[in-house]
Structures are given as structure tokens and as C-alpha cells.
Amino acid sequence: MNNIEAVSRKTKEKEFRKRMILSVAKELFFENSYEKTSMESIAQKAGLAKGTLYLYFSNKDELYVSLLIEGLSLLKQMMVDKANQYERYEDKFVQALAIAFYEFSLHQPQYFSLMMSFNTGNLAKIDCIKTQVTSEIDHNHNEIMSFCVSVVQQGIENGIFNPEEDPKLVVVQLWFSITGAIVMINKHIDEVETVCGVTNIYFIESIANRFLQSLKIRN
């Protein structure tokens, strides 16, 4: 085996071990909560010495936030996939910017919970995480925001939306509304259907559609 092959093999082994550690940490965090999971328990379940674990992640926070990065990447892909399924702009707007996020919360509840904890400041001591990791969070968040803004911008360019609208402001307003609705639905899962007589997904769609109609150019 030459030096290039040896380096390549070590790189692959290191990446495999990192992915394995993340998988174990995800299982423990989601089963036992962040507070009740220790680096020692992660190392034990992964079959590694505690010192080996620190070669890959500096602390528990960094491990936790690395999972957040995975969640953000997954959410972005779900939104892009949704947008690509529809040709009609109105459907693209509602499905990509609202329904994809709702379905993400249903199919990936652990990642959704992680994102909510991070956004509300419940993740402790994130200032001790490496700058490289926090930069990656910002990068993934900015990619999602850029995608959402591009969807709204498309509506403006196609003459559907008022050109005076600020796409970024629209995205933030819509996402705050959708996030609040999802959180409340998760806490009171049967109330929308009981009180309003509609399904949860229809309820989310109706919020996005109200935004859509409010943005349209009035004839």
C-alpha cells in the first residue's frame, strides 16, 4: 500500500468513526435528553475510550450542534425537493415554504426539537463550540434562507407579487407564523381538528395561502 492509499484509508476510517459517534450521540440525546447524556456514556456506547472521543469532538455541545447541522441540511433538501415537484408557482410557494417544514417536524421530530431548542437559546454554553462548527450552522441556515428568499423573489419577478415587498421580511414573517403553528399543533395535536374542523396540514396550508394572497398584486 503506497502513502496516498494509506492516507486515503485513514481519512475514510476517521470519517466513518466520526459518523458512528454522531449516530450514537443522536440515539442517546434523543432517548435520554441532552442534560442526561454524558461524553462518557457516548464513548461507552460507541465502544471507544473517552479520550478517543475528544479527538473528534471537543465537548458535548459540539456533538449536539453537529446534529443540528445534519437537521438543517436535511430540511433544506426537503424544501428543494418539494419545490421541484410543482410547476404552478402558488403550489411551489405553499409546499416548499410551509408544508415541507411541517412534514419535517412530523418525520424528523428529534431534529425539529433540536432546532427549536437552539433557536430559543435552550442549548447551554454554545459559546464554547469551535468557530468552524458555528460557521457551518450559519452556512446551512443562510442556504435555507437564500432558497426561501429566491422562491418569494420568483413571485415578484413573475409579476405575481407586489414588487415593493421585501422577500427576506416575507420569509421571516411566514416562518415565524408557521413555526408557532407547528409548535402549538404539537402541544395540542387534536385541537385544530376539534375546534376548526380541518386537518393540521390544511391548517398549515391555510396560513401559507393567506400570506400568498396578501402578497399578490391587486388589480
The domains of the chain, with CATH numbers, are 1-57 (1.10.10.60), 58-215 (1.10.357.10)
Task: Quote the pLDDT of residue 1.
Answer: 55
C-alpha cell at 101: 417544514
What is the pTM for the complete model shown?
Answer: 0.81
C-alpha cell at 41: 456514556
Per-residue pLDDT tens for 30-67?
Answer: 888 777 889 999 999 999 998 999 998 888 888 888 88
Low-confidence spans in the chain with pLDDT less than 70: 1-8, 120-134, 219
Sort 5 into a burial class: Cβ within 10 Å, 0-12 / 13-18 / 19+.
exposed
- Bridge partners of 216, per DSSP, are 161
Sort 111 into a burial class: Cβ within 10 Å, 0-12 / 13-18 / 19+.
buried
* Chain position carrying cell 387534536: 190
d(C-alpha 45, C-alpha 101), whole Å: 32
